[in-house]
């Protein structure tokens, strides 16, 4: 340990030098990025040309000699008991090399009693639930053989609608208490929570460090206090992840060793799950992910498709590829749960929040879907009384998976609309209301910057901007919302950096690129530390043979893996100094600024570039390794809300009151993510978060036929995703928010960018038409119904 | 990388399937007695153009030629095989992606006759050439692999995509690039490149879904490359 | 997709012969193939023979893949007799027409100079369909003949009336995107945007039959289950074995205007919630009313493109353009609507789209 001066705060605002306790073996802390050569500069992706030329190999592109094609038999019923599966006819079909039955199901909630019994789960709880699989020489042969698998189903009554599931005599999804394991992307539900019918809960929540029972009483007291109260019920829909590359895995055995190519956000979680499921040593499983065509939270673990691929490959003694089709992707590999949220805000006339109460349910199919209380408990955490109560509602539909900022877009949709309503009721500007309740320094600056960029002063009260269009049917509205995410990291993140004799370097880290482009910031931090050009750094990721890295979820990747990468580069420099010092006669040779090695030889100062020093090596390379250090000096908070990432978005919309069609014309987004290592790539991710948020706000919804439980829009045509013509002008203000916690000070941006968007759009729609829509998506049907309804201010259902 | 053409097949007739070109006079065995006169009489009734011979293929696999990225390659395909499937699985051209397999996402976009086309909704026989008497020439197909030169020089649109980070996970990128490069080439051939508008770019990629949301950078990349400023190395988009 | 035999033809006569030859087995005609492939992939159709009508190879020409102007002097009588009469009771006179071959793509239509200039409703409708990639391949005849997009019909899991079953699952199911008119037998809406435009342009369809050709007004071509001669399993009067060859569209006189508007939730590739085409002919000044002829056809609201006759009548009575009158005309567009549980919004939507179309065409006329 040693003390050092570290720059802490918002660069260009309140950043100051502070003294911090630094652990041993870390390089000196960087100052603001304008003082750096590579880090913090908009930098094109080092693997960009692979992606634009089609050279980048994704899981379905992997060809192996003798590759077979696997197809999965999913249940055609949403609820059934399986009494038997006969595969012999299927095995005899032309081209078929193996048929297997899934031993037990991964994903979703599990009955405690079933877990105890282990192995086979004889109950189908959602349509599309995997039952068996076939590997054949061609995909068509495999598909044809699926029809020859005979499953003895006892079809049971089902319920796919949460409202129906809550009725007293609804068919039960689970006959007893359940729990659900989480993934690196979140999710999970502990056991021991009351469960009645299809309703499980409550899970009682309060801000960190507060007692839920006390908070419940405090909220009740505030509600009785005679202060201003705003109440509302908000509903959100099921959204499917719909990564453009479906889930998939190719498995190949060599003796007792298994190699898989997986489309995943977590190579190590795939490895561990396969090893556990197949009861083989971890060391015998290798997972490779060169490129992954998007995950958004749904691609952790081996998946049932992955297990089936491995089992088929074993049985067929040949490599097997199982890649889902678009329909299976919608049905069986995760979604963002639906929610109903009843929220109440209590405030004094001065706009100071006195209480926040949130009660409601989340419906994640055959999984635990609650988890939307994050914004309520954290964004206005200074509010003296906050209490949340959440339930899971089970239905016979595919289980949820973590989805980009799990729970937060839902929670923000309710909370931020309620704040908007409160602002109107109190006659306070919505931005000012946040100002009075949210001291987070990042968001404070973000509100200011966003408002300037946006021209927030144009905003009027709802419905007061002049109508546009020949029939006066176009109404314009402006709205805002904000959100939070958390500073998570995985300390089990390791990197190795090798410096070669020619002055080039290699960084090895077991992370994977899900689209965020992690290769590039890895190369940047190493290039910066070593003082060499970016092109001289080779990055190897996406293989479990590399040092263990974090799963790419929770916006942890950059903040977890770039510090050890820089630290390893620093360690490699130390090694280089040690090797070269005797050769140049400078015993004190040590790392200096700009990647230089500095010391004294024969009484004179000498300075070597990395390339000069490496050229003197008498061995092939020097290398350094590092593990992600705990955050520096955890005690030194200095009043900074360092555990939370902010984000403020302002939206401008038009609403065609004749057709109900909403167009988002502009979003201004102000965000912080620690030190933005590569603003160009950060900007890409913010665009993505906003566009997914608009898509969630206006278009996306899993549509089910209640009678049969079937999904009606399991495609990319009627499951509507925003395209290029649906995207507004987007302007971004990106803060440089230094925390002095790690050697790179980086944090993730993937999740915070999507949190406030739907709420900001909804608030802008209210501002345009003066009617509040409290249910997502904001469809023309809902807009027209709301405009036609008597002015009760409640949205149609 | 190119599947071998079945060597035992000659004259376009394979053992497993069959591929027969027939004029109106030689179709009897295929069409059945009832249908033959109809073909004859209708062909006679049409003054112009003269009916080309009827070609009957499949249902089993048949050898064909495809003209892909300027090369003629042999493949063995069933009538039901899509172009996307044949490119990916037989010709090793896996840059063409399958996202929805229904023409809704554009990940499979390739050029046929120079025009962006959904390869998942195109049957390979739609573009294939058939051998033998009465056979027809293959239609030129360009995939993402054919856009850059063999020497590795990127198309200006590819360069601009990299410079402006017009890609994230990259799965939609090949299709997105094909749509954009077609627009670029069309505007260039019209001498209108510098006049390229944001609206034209958005329209051109309206059939290419990007789940990561790269559209703004795609637009930026296209506009700057059209104005000749797209190939800055680092930080080109600032 | 099932395995099938590919039968390639280059003339409509050959196609008809091949379709009729397939008796005892099943045959399906493919042109651009977008809708056909969709159906094959979903398993809705499993033909033994796919009859592929192709453009002839380079060098030879075919009217099937051409757009050409046919001067009145060369217009076949079979077309002339189906043209709208100038005045009631008069015999129709030959007019300059545009002939569009069945294999012409939507992209060609959307960018054709004559269509852009003289028949803007058609160009706008063609441009609004699907994606650039699909428009490059999809043909005009295929667009008219594609099967409905009803999600119950499009899923092999639902044996609905259109497939010979005995119920319409949409009636008490998820019917947000379904018909508000004529919806009690089958609530699917007609999918063709081009049809909506062609109908206000008085298009005539020419059909190859086993014995020759026949011509029909497009307005008599589409038929719903409840109409005379209707069959819930089909959307039009094309008989099995017949093939569309051409469309003839009278070129408008200088006092005629048309336009098409599509209301879609998403602006990039979406089916219409409601779409409308409108054509009007100005009345001579001093006539009392603004217009002497008007056609309004609404799509996305009925099993066939829906002629809004009450709105047309109201539009013809219009003597001056003001917002109140436009709203009254729009109101009439939904006369007779009987929405289902979840598509009530289509009533004001239909009115709203018609109002915008009326306002726009009269402002420009």
Domain assignment present for residue C180? The answer is: no
Using CA coordinates, name the residue in chain B closest to A717.
B104
Q: Which residues contact C82 (CB under 8 A, 6 or more apart)?
A: C92, C204, C215, C216, C217
Cα C356 to Cα C261: distance, rounded to the nearest angstrom: 8
Intervals of CATH 3.30.365.10 along chain A: 59-160+244-332, 410-487+638-788, 490-627
Cα A208 to Cα A388: distance, rounded to the nearest angstrom: 12
pLDDT value at C112 more than 80: yes
pLDDT tens-digit map of C163-210: 999 999 999 999 999 999 999 999 999 999 999 999 999 999 999 999
- The pLDDT value recorded for residue A117 is 56
pLDDT tier at B233, thresholds 50, 70, 90: very low
Q: Is the dihedral of CA A214, A218, A219, A220 positive or negative?
A: positive
pLDDT value at B34 more than 70: no
* Whether residues C294 and C328 fall in one domain: yes
Burial profile C301-322: b = 16 or more Cβ within 10 angstroms, e = fewer: bbbbbbbbebbbebbbebeeee
Cα A724 to Cα C240: distance, rounded to the nearest angstrom: 40
CATH number at residue C206: 3.30.465.10
- What is the pLDDT averaged over residues A285-307? 97
Chain B hits for A724, Cβ within 8 Å? 201-202, 205-206, 208, 215, 218-219
* Whether residues C112 and C236 fall in one domain: yes
Cα C99 to Cα C65: distance, rounded to the nearest angstrom: 10
pLDDT value at B4 more than 50: no
Q: Could you tell me if A657 and A724 are in contact, meaning their C-beta atoms sit under 8 angstroms apart?
A: no
> Of A682-691, A717-726, B46-55, C90-99, which range is least confident?
B46-55
Chain A neighbours (≥3 Cβ pairs under 8 A) are B, C
Q: How many Cβ atoms sit within 10 Å of the Cβ of residue B190? A: 9
With CA atoms as reference, report the closest residue to C177 among C364, C343, C6, C348: C343
Cross-chain Cβ contact C155/A473 below 8 Å: no
pLDDT higher at C68 or C55:
C68
What's the CA angle centered on C239, arms C236 and C242, to 5 degrees? 110
**Which of C40, C129, C151, C330 to mutate against chain A (most A CBs within 10 Å)?**
C151
* Whether residues C360 and C215 fall in one domain: no
Cα A94 to Cα A628: distance, rounded to the nearest angstrom: 53
CATH number at residue C43: 3.30.43.10
Cross-chain Cβ contact B56/C5 below 8 Å: yes
Query: Which residue, C234, C250, C266, sits at the end of a domain?
Result: C250
Domain assignment present for residue C309? The answer is: yes
Cross-chain Cβ contact C355/A707 below 8 Å: no
Cis, peptide link before residue C321, omega less than 30° from 0: no
Cα B23 to Cα B40: distance, rounded to the nearest angstrom: 10
Claim: this prediction has a pTM higher than 0.80: yes
Using CA coordinates, name the residue in chain B closest to A51.
B170
- The pLDDT value recorded for residue B133 is 59
**Which of A659, A783, A786 to mutate against chain C (most C CBs within 10 Å)?**
A659
* Whether residues C34 and C111 fall in one domain: no
Q: Could you tell me if A305 and A248 are in contact, meaning their C-beta atoms sit under 8 angstroms apart?
A: yes
Q: Strands (DSSP E) along A163-247, which ranges?
A: 178-179, 195-196, 199-205, 228-236
Domains of chain B as residue ranges with CATH: 19-57 (no CATH), 62-146 (3.10.20.30), 156-226 (1.10.150.120)
Query: Which residue, C18, C36, C54, sits at the end of a domain?
Result: C54
Cα C39 to Cα C147: distance, rounded to the nearest angstrom: 9
Chain B neighbours (≥3 Cβ pairs under 8 A) are A, C
* Whether residues C360 and C333 fall in one domain: yes
pLDDT tens-digit map of B83-133: 999 999 999 999 999 999 999 999 999 999 999 999 999 999 999 998 765
pLDDT tens-digit map of A419-429: 999 999 999 99
**Domain A410-487+638-788 belongs to what architecture?**
2-Layer Sandwich (3.30)
pLDDT tens-digit map of A137-176: 999 999 999 999 999 999 999 999 999 999 999 999 999 9
Average of per-residue pLDDT values in chain A? 95
Cross-chain Cβ contact C41/B179 below 8 Å: no
**Domain A59-160+244-332 belongs to what architecture?**
2-Layer Sandwich (3.30)
- The pLDDT value recorded for residue A183 is 64
Tokens of C277: 């085409």
pLDDT value at A536 more than 60: yes
* Whether residues C71 and C50 fall in one domain: no
* Residues above pLDDT 70, as percent of chain C: 98
Domain assignment present for residue C311? The answer is: yes
Cα A735 to Cα A539: distance, rounded to the nearest angstrom: 27
* Whether residues C212 and C295 fall in one domain: no
* Whether residues C87 and C134 fall in one domain: yes
- The pLDDT value recorded for residue B9 is 32
- The pLDDT value recorded for residue B31 is 30
Distance from CA of A512 to the nearest CA of B (A): 11
**Closest in C13, C60, C210 to B43, CB measured:** C13
- The pLDDT value recorded for residue C156 is 95
With CA atoms as reference, report the closest residue to A323 among A251, A237, A400, A241: A251
End-to-end CA distance of chain B: 41
Tokens of A186: 């979140």
Query: Which residue has 């904000």 as its token pair?
Result: A482
B residues 154-213 lying closer than 8 A (beta carbon) to C: 179, 202-204, 206-208
Domain assignment present for residue C281? The answer is: yes
Cα A574 to Cα A589: distance, rounded to the nearest angstrom: 9
pLDDT value at C24 more than 90: no
Chain B hits for C136, Cβ within 8 Å? 115-117
Cα A63 to Cα A437: distance, rounded to the nearest angstrom: 56
Kindly give the residue spans of alpha helices, DSSP state H, lying in A516-647.
519-530, 557-584, 610-615
The DSSP secondary-structure symbol of C88 reads T
> Of A548-562, C16-30, C350-364, which range is least confident?
C16-30
> Is A696 an interface residue toward C (CB < 8 Å)?
no
Cα A456 to Cα B145: distance, rounded to the nearest angstrom: 47
Cα C213 to Cα C228: distance, rounded to the nearest angstrom: 23
With CA atoms as reference, report the closest residue to A130 among A116, A146, A142, A144: A146
- What is the pLDDT averaged over residues A639-648? 75
Cross-chain Cβ contact A706/C349 below 8 Å: no
Cα B203 to Cα A725: distance, rounded to the nearest angstrom: 7
Q: Which residues contact C249 (CB under 8 A, 6 or more apart)?
A: C97, C98, C99, C100, C119, C122, C198, C201, C202, C203, C204
pLDDT tens-digit map of A460-474: 999 999 999 999 999
- What is the pLDDT averaged over residues A715-723? 98
pLDDT tier at B232, thresholds 50, 70, 90: very low
Chain B hits for A292, Cβ within 8 Å? 169
pLDDT tier at A8, thresholds 50, 70, 90: very high
B residues 193-212 lying closer than 8 A (beta carbon) to A: 201-203, 205-212
Chain B hits for C10, Cβ within 8 Å? 49, 51-52
With CA atoms as reference, report the closest residue to C244 among C148, C145, C147, C146: C145
pLDDT tier at C58, thresholds 50, 70, 90: low
Cα C185 to Cα A240: distance, rounded to the nearest angstrom: 33
H or E element in which residue B55 lies: strand B54-57
CATH number at residue C286: 3.30.390.50
- The pLDDT value recorded for residue C55 is 82
Domain assignment present for residue C135? The answer is: yes
Cα A720 to Cα A698: distance, rounded to the nearest angstrom: 9
H or E element in which residue C331 lies: helix C323-333
Q: Could you tell me if A714 and A74 are in contact, meaning their C-beta atoms sit under 8 angstroms apart?
A: no
C residues 114-173 lying closer than 8 A (beta carbon) to A: 149, 151-152, 155, 157-158, 169, 173
Distance from CA of C333 to the nearest CA of A (A): 14
Tally the domains of chain C. 3
Query: Which residue has 């999710």 as its token pair?
Result: A187
Domain assignment present for residue C7? The answer is: yes
Tokens of A325: 């089709």
Domain assignment present for residue C324? The answer is: yes
Cross-chain Cβ contact C266/A722 below 8 Å: yes
Boundaries of domain holding C11: 1-54
**Which of A71, A728, A780, A789 to mutate against chain C (most C CBs within 10 Å)?**
A780
Cis, peptide link before residue C58, omega less than 30° from 0: no
> Is A718 an interface residue toward C (CB < 8 Å)?
yes
Cα B209 to Cα C73: distance, rounded to the nearest angstrom: 49
pLDDT value at C356 more than 60: yes
Strand partners, A600: A605
CATH of domain A490-627: 3.30.365.10
* Whether residues C299 and C346 fall in one domain: yes
């Amino acid at each position: 340990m040693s003390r050092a001066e570290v720059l802490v705060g918002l660069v260009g605002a309140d950043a100051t030098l502070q003294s911090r306790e630094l652990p041993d073996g870390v390089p000196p802390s960087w100052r603001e990025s304008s003082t750096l050569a590579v880090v913090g500069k908009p930098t094109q992706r080092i693997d960009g040309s692979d992606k634009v030329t089609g050279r980048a190999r994704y899981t379905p592109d992997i060809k192996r000699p003798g590759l077979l094609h696997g197809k999965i038999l999913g249940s055609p019923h949403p609820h059934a008991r399986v009494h038997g599966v006969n595969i012999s006819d299927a095995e005899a079909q032309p081209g078929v090399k193996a048929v297997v039955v899934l031993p037990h199901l991964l994903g979703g909630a599990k009955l405690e009693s079933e877990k105890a019994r282990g192995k086979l789960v004889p109950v189908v709880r959602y349509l599309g639930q995997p039952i068996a699989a076939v590997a054949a020489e061609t995909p068509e042969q495999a598909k044809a053989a699926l029809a020859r698998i005979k499953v003895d189903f006892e079809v049971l009554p089902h319920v796919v609608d949460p409202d129906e599931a809550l009725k007293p005599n609804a068919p039960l999804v689970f006959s007893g208490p359940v729990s659900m394991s989480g993934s690196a992307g979140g999710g999970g539900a502990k056991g021991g929570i009351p469960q009645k019918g299809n309703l499980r809960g409550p899970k009682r929540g309060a801000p960190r460090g507060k007692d839920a029972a006390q908070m419940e009483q405090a909220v009740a007291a505030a509600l009785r206090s005679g202060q201003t109260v705003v109440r509302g019920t908000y509903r959100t829909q099921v959204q499917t992840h719909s990564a453009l590359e479906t889930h998939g895995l190719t498995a190949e055995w060599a003796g007792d060793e298994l190699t898989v190519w997986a489309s995943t956000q977590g190579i190590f979680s795939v490895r561990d799950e396969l090893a556990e499921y197949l009861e083989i040593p971890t060391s015998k499983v290798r997972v490779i992910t060169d490129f992954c065509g998007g995950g958004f939270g749904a691609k952790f673990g081996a998946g049932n498709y992955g297990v089936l691929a491995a089992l088929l490959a074993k049985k067929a003694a040949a490599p097997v590829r199982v890649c889902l089709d678009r329909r299976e992707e919608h049905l069986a590999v995760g979604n963002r749960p639906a929610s109903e949220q009843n929220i109440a805000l209590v405030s004094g006339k001065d706009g100071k929040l006195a209480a926040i109460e949130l009660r409601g349910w989340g419906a994640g199919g055959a999984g635990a879907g609650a988890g939307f209380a994050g914004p309520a408990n954290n964004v206005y955490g200074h509010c003296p009384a906050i209490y949340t109560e959440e339930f899971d509602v089970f239905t016979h539909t595919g289980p949820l998976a973590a989805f980009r900022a799990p729970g937060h877009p839902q929670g923000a949709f309710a909370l931020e609309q309620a704040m908007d309503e409160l602002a109107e009721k109190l006659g306070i500007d919505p931005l000012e209301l946040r100002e009075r309740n949210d001291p987070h320094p990042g968001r404070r600056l973000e509100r200011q910057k966003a408002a300037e960029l946006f021209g927030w002063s144009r905003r009027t009260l709802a419905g007061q901007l002049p109508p546009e269009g020949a029939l006066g049917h176009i109404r314009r509205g402006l709205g805002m919302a904000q959100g939070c995410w958390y500073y998570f990291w995985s300390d089990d993140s390791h990197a190795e950096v090798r410096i070669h004799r020619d002055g080039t370097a290699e960084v090895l880290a077991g992370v994977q690129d899900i689209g965020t482009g992690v290769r590039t910031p890895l190369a940047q931090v190493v290039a910066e530390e070593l003082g060499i050009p970016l092109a001289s750094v080779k990055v190897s990721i996406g293989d479990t043979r590399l040092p263990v890295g974090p799963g790419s979820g929770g916006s942890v990747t950059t903040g977890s893996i770039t510090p050890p990468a820089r630290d390893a580069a620093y360690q490699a420099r130390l090694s280089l100094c040690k090797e070269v010092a005797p050769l140049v006669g400078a015993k004190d040779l040590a790392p200096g600024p700009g990647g230089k090695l500095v010391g004294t030889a024969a009484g004179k100062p000498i300075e070597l570039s990395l390339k000069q020093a490496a050229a003197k090596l008498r061995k092939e390379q020097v290398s350094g390794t590092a593990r992600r250090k705990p955050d520096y000096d955890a005690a030194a908070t200095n009043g900074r809300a360092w555990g939370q990432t902010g984000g403020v978005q302002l939206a401008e919309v038009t609403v065609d009151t004749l057709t109900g069609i909403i167009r988002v014309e502009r979003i201004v987004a102000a965000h912080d993510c620690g030190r933005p290592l590569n603003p160009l790539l950060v900007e890409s991710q913010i665009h993505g978060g906003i566009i997914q948020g608009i898509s969630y706000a206006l278009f996306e919804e899993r549509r089910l036929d209640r009678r049969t439980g079937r999904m009606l829009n399991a495609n990319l045509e009627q499951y509507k995703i925003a395209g290029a013509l649906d995207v507004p002008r987007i302007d971004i203000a990106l803060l440089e928010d230094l925390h002095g916690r790690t050697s790179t000070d980086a944090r993730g941006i993937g999740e915070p960018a999507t949190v406030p968007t739907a709420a900001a759009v909804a608030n802008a729609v209210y501002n345009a038409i003066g009617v509040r829509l409290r249910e997502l998506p904001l469809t023309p049907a809902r807009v027209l119904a709301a405009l036609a309804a008597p002015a009760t201010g409640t949205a149609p259902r | 990388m190119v599947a071998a053409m079945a060597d035992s097949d000659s004259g376009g007739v394979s053992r497993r399937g069959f591929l027969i070109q027939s004029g109106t006079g030689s179709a009897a065995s295929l069409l059945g007695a009832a249908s033959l006169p109809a073909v004859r009489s209708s062909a006679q009734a049409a003054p112009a153009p003269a009916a080309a011979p009827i070609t009957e293929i499949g249902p089993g696999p048949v050898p064909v030629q495809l003209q892909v990225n300027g090369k003629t390659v042999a493949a063995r395909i069933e009538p039901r095989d899509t172009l996307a499937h044949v490119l990916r699985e037989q010709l090793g051209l896996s840059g063409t992606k399958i996202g929805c397999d229904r023409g809704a996402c554009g990940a499979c976009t390739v050029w046929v006759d120079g025009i962006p086309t959904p390869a998942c909704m195109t049957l390979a026989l739609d573009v294939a050439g058939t051998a033998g008497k009465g056979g027809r020439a293959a239609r030129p197909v360009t995939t993402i692999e054919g856009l850059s030169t063999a020497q590795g020089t990127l198309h200006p649109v590819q360069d601009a995509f990299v410079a402006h980070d017009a890609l994230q996970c990259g799965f939609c990128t090949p299709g997105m690039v094909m749509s954009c490069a077609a627009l670029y080439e069309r505007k260039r051939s019209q001498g209108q490149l510098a006049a390229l508008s944001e609206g034209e770019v958005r329209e051109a990629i309206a059939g290419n879904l990007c789940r990561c949301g790269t559209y703004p950078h795609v637009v930026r990349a296209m506009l700057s490359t059209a104005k000749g400023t797209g190939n800055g190395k680092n930080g080109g988009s600032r | 997709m099932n395995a099938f035999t590919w039968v390639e033809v280059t003339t409509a006569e050959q196609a008809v012969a091949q379709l009729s030859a397939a008796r005892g087995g099943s045959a399906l005609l493919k042109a651009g193939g977008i809708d056909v492939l969709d159906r094959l992939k979903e398993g809705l159709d499993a033909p033994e023979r796919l009859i592929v009508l192709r453009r002839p190879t380079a060098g030879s020409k075919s009217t099937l893949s051409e757009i050409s102007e046919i001067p009145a002097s060369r217009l076949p009588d079979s077309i002339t007799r189906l043209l709208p009469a100038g005045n009631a009771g008069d015999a129709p006179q030959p007019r300059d027409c545009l002939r569009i071959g069945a294999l012409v793509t939507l992209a060609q239509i959307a960018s054709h100079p004559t269509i852009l200039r003289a028949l803007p409703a058609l160009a706008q409708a063609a441009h609004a369909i699907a994606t650039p990639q699909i428009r490059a391949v999809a043909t005009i005849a295929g667009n008219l003949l594609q099967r409905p997009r009803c999600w119950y019909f499009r899923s092999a899991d639902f044996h609905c009336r259109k497939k010979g079953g005995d119920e319409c699952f949409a009636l008490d199911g998820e019917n947000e995107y379904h018909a508000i008119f004529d919806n009690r037998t089958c609530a699917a809406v007609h999918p063709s945007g081009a049809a909506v435009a062609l109908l206000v342009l008085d298009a005539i369809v020419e059909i190859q039959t086993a014995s020759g050709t026949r011509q029909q007004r497009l307005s008599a071509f589409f038929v719903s289950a409840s109409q005379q001669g209707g069959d819930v399993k089909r959307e039009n009067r094309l008989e099995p074995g017949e093939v569309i060859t051409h469309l003839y569209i009278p070129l408008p006189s200088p006092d005629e205007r048309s336009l098409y508007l599509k209301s879609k939730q998403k602006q990039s590739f979406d089916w219409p919630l409601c779409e409308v085409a409108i054509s009007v002919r100005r009345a001579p000044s001093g006539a009392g009313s603004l217009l002497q002829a008007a056609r309004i056809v609404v799509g996305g609201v009925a099993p066939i493109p829906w002629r809004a006759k009450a709105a047309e009548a109201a539009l013809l009575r219009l003597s001056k353009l003001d917002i109140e009158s436009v709203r009254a005309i729009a109101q009439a567009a939904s006369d007779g609507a009987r929405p289902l549980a979840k598509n009530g919004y289509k009533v004001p939507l239909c009115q709203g789209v018609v109002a915008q179309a009326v306002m726009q065409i009269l402002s420009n006329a």
